[in-house]
Structure 1
Amino acid sequence: MLAMTLVSPGSAQSSCGSVSCFVVIGSQQQVSPAGVLTVNLTYNYTPNGLPPDGANTIPYANQQTKQLILGNTPVSNLETLVQTAALDLNYGLTERFGLQVMLPYKSVQSVGQFGPGTVSSFNDQGLGDILGKVKYNLLPTLRSMLVLEMGVYFPTGTYQQAGPNGQYAESTLQLGRGAFGFQPSFYQTYEILPHRLNQFLQGSWRYTLRNPDGYQFGQEYALNLGFNIVTVPWLTLTEQINFRYKTKDNIEAALYQLVGPPVNRAVLIDGTITGRPVPTTNFTYAAFSTGILVNLWDFAQGYFMAQIPFYRDFNGNLQLDISYIGGLTKYFATPPLFSGGA
């Protein structure tokens, strides 16, 4: 017989997810010259909202109680805002080898209402997962660069933060993923017109291990193509096409189906605690990003970009809206640690 467990849709956490803006900033992707420390301070504003036709199949993925509840409740209101301030350090060990460390400070604000339930909210802020990279410039010339990277995400962000009801917030709203992640990537650039027009191509793949709560984020693939155009010596225009594809998350849980009024219960379908794909956590996304880079005298370089989506398939879940990123880049010359260009 099917077991039945009471569910309160108004307070339950659902897999509404949060997606972050991503653009290519050359000073972060390149290998710094030997002995040069490149410091980037960035701010990222990324709102996520419901698709125009609404949503009613967003599941409840509860990593604390090991339950995956397939939902069919109309969503009255649901939105997530992710803001990230990051300190990005890029140091050139030699002319070809470099190290990069990114320390993100995140703020997550989420509000939702499912069916006739009450409005619930979740807010958290703090250090996210730190990213470390080793870089190698495979093709250093006066006009080109091909950088191969290997990145590791360290599980420094909290991943068991509870909401007002005492239950863990869903994994996609946590500041960290709770497990190590690996991200090989590449960055290629070529000066079509020296000191006037350059082209770049960047791609990456991110794989995250399963965390102690039994939740594993889906694999993410990114490909970005763009141009930088120097108009006057102090002003550069940057235009990019950004593509991102993500597979479904996976949770170790029993499987339930939510039955609506007048029952308002979750019916057990399979009580086996095993890995299950979380519906609606996959997506395909493409956007056009445009912005400016301004030389602030001889002190630093400032930049601001807007990312405007033109294709979004979030499988009925929250989707990324127009996002913004701004920041400052500053270079510091130090004595090289190693001599030679190898």
Structure 2
Amino acid sequence: MEHTWRCDIRVTDLGEFGIIARIVGRLPQSPAVLLGPGDDAAVLIAPDGRVVVTTDLLLEGRHFRRDWSSAQDIGRKAAAQNLSDVVAMGADPTALFVGLGLPGDLPAAWLDGLTDGFREECALVGASVAGGDVVRSELVVLGVTALGDLGGRAPVTRSGARPGQVLAVAGRLGHAAAGLALYQAGNDDPAFAALAGAHRRPLPPYACGPAAAALGATAMLDVSDGLLQDLGHVARASGVLIDLDPAALEVPETLAAAGAALGVDPLRWMLTGGEDHALAAVFPAEVTLPSEWRPIGRVLEGEGVQVTGYEGLPAGWDHFRE
């Protein structure tokens, strides 16, 4: 996919403060922000007295490609993966802070699209971009920090799973991995457009995080690096064995079709693919789960993660694994 911008203004023509002014002009502030961009630091309301904080770094060529994703897609994806981490703690997102590294020849209109993507994703959860920084760099670099408020709830960590409890997921699994595989294979079949879109722009089930905390979830995380790998974090932190039932992972029709087209078992995408930003949580067995949560396994005595019939699969994404 190629994106052509008709405006000839580049970010280098704007200068640092012109870039900042252009970004800020497109970003409304939520009620949680008492003092937004324009000072040495922002000031936010923290009603709970505790602040949930997470941060992520995205590099052009490793986390996104400008020939595959629009600026708006990239902004939404960068915001989504941080906002998802906040809700995975059972918190409500309040604000993002964004550090930008930008090539000087980048079209100013591309910057507008990126800013709009951040704004639109934040609007889904009532948060806002409350500040950041900008520097010149050879590639587009995004450093994002997200803040959240627990609303009086205890944070839902990875260490609370106990034997006898139920594992469930909310959101999509395997779609982003399938979309990436289609891009890498050069397969642009319109029938798979939704999967390609899932790679460019995730759809985290934001409301399910705080709702799971209210339901009594004892452990929860954002599925960003693959279900098996991320559940391994829960198993280690909790000192338990997680028994995952592959039969409970219903393969959507479009995922099955893409698997057939590429010669891939689609369940592998669902087990090891990252960047869908689904939520995985552990609940007491007596909790009645709403329809957004799908039971997919159980917690047992032992250690690690087991999936009958899929032993030996690579766990998921690791930045330093070849």
TM-score (norm 1): 0.23
Q: More strand per residue: 1 or 2?
A: 1
Q: More helix per residue: 1 or 2?
A: 2
